[in-house]
């Protein structure tokens, strides 16, 4: 392709050429940093830098590749000064000590992974087949595993295996060599293999079986009924919740902790169904001392045809509720 220097920037032309990539760039930044709010800020920075250099874009690569080059480098710069975001299962093995309430981390001690609302990256009118493939790339377990890779290896793996850029295109985006890309990809794959097996095939949030299991999980909390949990959780289910360091493995332990320290009385909890990270989820409200239902967080389920294999609750920020488009308080 013959390169050409563009005339003075035009805002309408810039928007027409770049805005259609905003959602996928948001997903890319989220995979890199593990935070929906940070990803949103990084996409804003990406578009600001792109606008500033738009007049000098010579068309040697596609506009999409050019944007990914900017976004990836914005993320890599940001990650230099940030701690790795994790889930409780990324800190240590499941808790098997004496019976006690889960132990929270000290404020600021851990940077927690955040869920991503499906509505941010999956438009309602998208091709369902395309959405199914895209959801697999933002599954919570994958995002958590990616955070354990060195930042450049993370970028290489995402660019090559999620976004399907060639080794040459990835090298250009990262300003390195194809040999370095191939070596980095090999090391990233090996590290992911060390982090554990991939989960069983997950159901889509719209699958009736997934919705039935989500409804059962919600009913268990709203009715304070541990028997319902027995019906929806698989024997090998895990339970974790930020900002608590402890997490549980096995249905028996999960139900014990929830029944003893969480469920409370019928009516203490309300949950509203949603979806996050391509998985069934619910926005959580807890009744306070004044009897009001106040935002408490978000729970994301990993659901298979044989039951719920994982429940991850994010309690560390009520901002999550508004992020998902729900109010701070809920009327009875």
- pTM of full prediction above 0.85: yes
Percentages helix, strand, coil for the chain (3-state, rounded to 5) are: 50, 15, 35
Using one digit for the tens of pLDDT, what is the confidence trace for 222-250? 999 999 999 999 999 999 999 999 999 99
Q: Is the pLDDT of residue 112 over 70?
A: yes
Identify whether 213 is preceded by a cis peptide bond (ω within 30 of 0): no
Cα separation, 237 vs 246, whole angstroms: 15
- Residue ranges per domain, the chain? 11-83+117-194, 208-330
**pLDDT score at 322:** 86
Q: What is the mean pLDDT of residues 121-126?
A: 72
Residue 109 in tokens: 């001690």
Residue 269 in tokens: 């909890």
* Segment of 133-137, 167-171, 287-291 carrying the highest mean pLDDT: 167-171
**pLDDT score at 2:** 42
CATH superfamily of 11-83+117-194: PhyR, sigma-like (SL) domain (1.20.140.160)
Residue 283 in tokens: 């926005």
Residue 324 has a CB neighbour count (10 Å cut-off) of 23
Residues 6 or more apart whose CB falls under 8 angstroms from that of 96 comprise none
Q: Which CATH class is domain 208-330?
A: alpha beta
Of the chain, the percentage scoring pLDDT greater than 90 comes to 80
Rounded mean pLDDT of the chain? 91
**pLDDT score at 4:** 47
**pLDDT score at 132:** 64
Residue 293 C-alpha from the chain's centroid:
26
Cα separation, 332 vs 325, whole angstroms: 18
């Amino acid at each position: 392709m013959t390169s050409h220097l563009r005339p003075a920037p035009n805002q309408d032309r810039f928007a027409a050429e770049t805005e259609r990539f905003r959602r996928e760039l948001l997903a890319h930044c989220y995979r890199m940093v593990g935070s929906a709010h940070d990803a949103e800020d990084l996409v804003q920075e990406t578009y600001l830098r792109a606008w500033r250099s738009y007049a000098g874009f010579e068309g040697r690569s596609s506009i999409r590749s050019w944007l990914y080059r900017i976004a990836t480098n914005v993320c890599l710069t940001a990650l230099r000064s940030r701690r790795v975001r994790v889930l409780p299962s990324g800190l240590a093995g499941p808790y098997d000590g004496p019976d006690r309430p889960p132990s929270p981390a000290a404020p600021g001690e851990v940077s927690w992974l955040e869920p991503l609302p499906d509505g941010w990256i999956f438009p309602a009118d998208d091709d369902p087949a395309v959405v199914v493939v895209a959801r697999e790339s933002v599954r919570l377990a994958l995002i958590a595993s990616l955070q354990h890779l060195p930042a450049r290896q993370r970028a290489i793996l995402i660019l090559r295996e999620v976004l399907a850029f060639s080794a040459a295109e990835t090298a250009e985006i990262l300003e390195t060599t194809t040999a370095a890309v191939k070596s980095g990809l090999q090391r990233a794959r090996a590290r992911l293999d060390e982090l554990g097996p991939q989960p069983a095939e997950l159901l889509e949030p719209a699958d009736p079986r997934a919705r039935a299991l989500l409804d059962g999980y919600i009913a268990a909390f709203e009715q304070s009924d541990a028997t319902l949990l027995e019906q929806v959780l698989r024997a090998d289910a895990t339970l974790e919740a930020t900002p608590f360091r402890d997490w549980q493995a096995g249905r028996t332990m999960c139900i014990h902790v929830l029944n003893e320290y969480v469920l409370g009385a019928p009516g203490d909890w309300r949950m509203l169904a949603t979806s996050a990270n391509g998985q069934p989820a619910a926005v959580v409200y807890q009744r306070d001392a004044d009897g009001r239902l106040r935002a408490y967080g978000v729970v994301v389920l990993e659901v298979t045809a044989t039951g719920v294999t994982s429940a991850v609750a994010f309690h560390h920020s009520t901002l999550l509720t508004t992020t998902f488009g729900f109010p701070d308080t809920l009327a009875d």
